[in-house]
Amino acid sequence: VGSGANVVLFTTGLGTPTGNPIAPIIKVSSNTELAQRMPDIIDIETGAVIRGEKTIEEMADEMLEFIINVASGNIKTKARILNQNDFIPWRRGVSL
């Protein structure tokens, strides 16, 4: 976001509940189990590709439509709805 992104796709397999005060964060679940366990924070569930129910191209088309709707203000992301406005200044270099 600091480099100019207007929308962020955040892929997660663990369900990290993060957002951003500047740009919408679209959380994409890499598996159905996570999406079912945490439906309140996942915007897009891609498990249908792994199950063979959708092709990568079909899922990409659905995701693009969702992204356009978020960018147009027609859909609010779960992070925006939950007011997850995180700001985390990362440390430079190695930290232990």
pLDDT tens column, 19-78 = 888 889 999 998 899 999 999 999 999 999 999 999 999 999 999 999 999 999 999 999
Q: Give residue 73's pLDDT.
A: 93
Other CB atoms closer than 10 Å to residue 2's CB: what's the count? Answer: 7
Rounded mean pLDDT, 5-31: 85
Distance in angstroms (rounded) separating the CA atoms of residues 70 and 5 = 13
Contacts with 55 (C-beta within 8 Å, 6 or more apart), sequence order: 49
pLDDT interval class at 83 (50, 70, 90) = confident
- pTM of the full structure: 0.82
Count CA within 13 A, CB hemisphere, residue 49.
16
Distance CA 74, CA 84 (A): 19
The region of weakest confidence among 4-8, 32-36, 57-61, 89-93 is 89-93
